[in-house]
């Protein structure tokens, strides 16, 4: 079996994994294998990175990577069975939508190297991912990002203190503190999802 056919088979298997976080890592591992001969290293960002860090508690529609979209990248994606539609690479059989919205991480951003079945893969760092979500919550008023931050604060309780200096630099420390307070309120008063969402909306309106 040719390498490209083997990678297509692995991609199909990865696309069928039910747990969203593992699915994102598995797909990234296949892409990394495909790009390795070209010495290219896609970095998983966006909603799919949230899936990884929350172990699938958040469901994202598409998968975003930081990687320059050169002719070489287009060729590799085509060999894997993807079709280019504008900025998107769509796989018609595996129901995958992949985009490379940025060529490089922003200045000061870092990635974390994880391993999936022996393949090293790169995922944007938890701190930088949370800053990105905080910006979307505060400035774009995307309430779901507030829920994502709460999920990550719950799963990684030590990250809040590490995050504060960077949050201050990005002018999102105020909403981070409000979300930390909301997390405590949810736990103390055992609020349900509807009540928590209403409080998130209030935070957005006052931001």
Task: Write down the pLDDT at residue 32.
Answer: 98
Using an 8 Å Cβ cutoff, are 132 and 39 in contact? no
Q: What is the mean pLDDT of residues 138-150?
A: 93
Distances (CA, A) of 58 to 41, 86, 98, 106, 118: 25, 26, 17, 24, 25
Distances (CA, A) of 190 to 88, 146, 184, 206: 41, 18, 10, 23
Burial string for 39-53 (b: 16+ CB within 10 Å, else e) reads ebbbbbbbbbbbbbb
pLDDT, one tens digit per residue, over 83-138 is: 999 999 999 999 999 999 999 999 999 999 999 999 999 999 999 999 999 999 99
Task: Write down the pLDDT at residue 35.
Answer: 97
By the 10 Å C-beta count (0-12 exposed, 13-18 middle, 19+ buried), 56 is classed as middle
Q: What one-character-per-residue DSSP string does 171-188 give? A: T-HHHHHHHHHHHHHHHH
Pair of tokens at residue 132: 């990105």
Residue 61 in this model has a pLDDT that exceeds 80: no
What lies within 8 Å, CB to CB, of 173 at 6+ separation is 164, 167
CA distance 69 to 190: 46
Confidence of residue 27 (pLDDT cuts 50, 70, 90): very high
Residue ranges of domains in the chain: 3-124, 127-206
Strand-pair category, 96-102 with 88-91: antiparallel
Using alpha carbons only, how large is the chain's radius of gyration in Å?
A: 18
- Does the pTM surpass 0.85? The reply is yes
By the 10 Å C-beta count (0-12 exposed, 13-18 middle, 19+ buried), 157 is classed as exposed
Residue 73 in this model has a pLDDT that exceeds 90: yes
């Amino acid at each position: 079996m040719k390498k490209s056919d083997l990678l297509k088979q692995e991609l199909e298997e990865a696309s069928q994994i039910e747990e969203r976080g593992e699915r994102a890592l598995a797909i990234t591992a296949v892409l990394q294998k495909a790009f390795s001969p070209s010495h290219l290293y896609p970095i998983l960002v966006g909603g799919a990175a949230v899936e990884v860090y929350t172990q699938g508690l958040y469901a994202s529609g598409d998968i975003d990577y930081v990687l320059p979209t050169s002719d070489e990248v287009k060729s590799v994606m085509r060999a894997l069975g993807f079709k280019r539609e504008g900025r998107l690479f769509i796989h018609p059989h595996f129901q995958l939508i992949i985009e490379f919205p940025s060529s490089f991480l922003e200045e000061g951003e870092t990635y974390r190297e994880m391993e999936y079945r022996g393949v090293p893969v790169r995922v944007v760092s938890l701190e930088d991912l949370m800053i990105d979500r905080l910006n979307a919550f505060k400035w774009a008023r995307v309430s779901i990002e507030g829920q994502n931050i709460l999920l990550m604060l719950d799963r990684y309780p030590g990250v809040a203190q590490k995050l504060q200096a960077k949050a201050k630099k990005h002018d999102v420390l105020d909403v981070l503190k409000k979300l930390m307070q909301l997390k405590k309120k949810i736990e103390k008063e055992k609020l349900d999802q509807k009540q928590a969402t209403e409080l998130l909306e209030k935070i957005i309106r006052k931001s």
